[in-house]
Structure 1
């Protein structure tokens, strides 16, 4: 890849919450981006979408994601069992939702795109107080999500 911000990354894996869909991405050039466009906001249910872009041929799947054409240019993949949004696919590349990668993967975004729709309040995040999840809440959680790294 000759475009700016493509760099070599190690192999990656991940999948949906319920484990019905898993993916493996071979090592090689990739791009890590935060997309703030309105389509990504709606597709992710969030203020932005952290995306890990790789050429289509580098991804192998266990299970078959459902797809929806969100525009004439792009298709979005998701798990039809648990609803996890998994990717944005367009023009020969797939942009995996970074939250679906295993926690040990060295994802670090290198740019922002779709900034015309960026939420103003994101600039204040560094000044907000941090608080951990309540130990009492964690003690009562029974997770139905697939264990990480499997």
Structure 2
């Protein structure tokens, strides 16, 4: 496993955790209607991994999303964690955002191009606002927890 880096990740609430031996920074965006519906998003960023290089430290629940596939997720918080064919594949996809530090990954291609919402691909030039600059949100966090996460 020369060159592999062990990376960790999991769901929003922390119930589901995994480790993955990652040997490159390649990821992809899936735009297929099944992924759009399963995630509630216009696309999902995936890291394709050999199943043998992924260890579930505290396992996910699995949703049978179609006759040919299933998806790991957290039953407590609803986080979508990936995609896996039920049969015939040694790989699975982990959602890039589920990694504790997803900054390593770079998109290398699009999949499900027939369902791409092109208006959402290049958003350069749209106004940007940092989370910590939205005072109403900061105040809600401080009121609820005593501090702003970050």
1:103 maps to which of 93, 101, 104: 101
Unpaired runs of at least 5, structure 2: none
Unpaired runs of at least 5, structure 1: 1-7
1:87-139, CA deviations, whole angstroms, 9 ceiling, x for partnerless residues? Answer: 10122211111111113640111111111101132145113111222134223
- 1-structure distance, mates of 2:112, 2:102: 27
- Cα distance change, pair 61–105 in 1 and its aligned pair in 2 (3 A): farther
2:53 maps to which of 49, 58, 65: 58
2:112 maps to which of 114, 120, 126: 114
Q: Indicate the residue corresponding to 1:135 in structure 2.
A: 135
| TM norm structure 2 | 0.81
| TM norm structure 1 | 0.81
- 2-structure distance, mates of 1:115, 1:94: 20
- 2-structure distance, mates of 1:44, 1:115: 17
User: 4+ residue stretches of structure 1 with deviation over 3 A?
Assistant: none
- Cα distance change, pair 50–96 in 1 and its aligned pair in 2 (3 A): same
SS of corresponding position for 2:13: coil
- 2-structure distance, mates of 1:20, 1:78: 10
- 2-structure distance, mates of 1:102, 1:55: 19
If you compute each CA radius of gyration, which structure gives the higher value, 1 or 2? 2
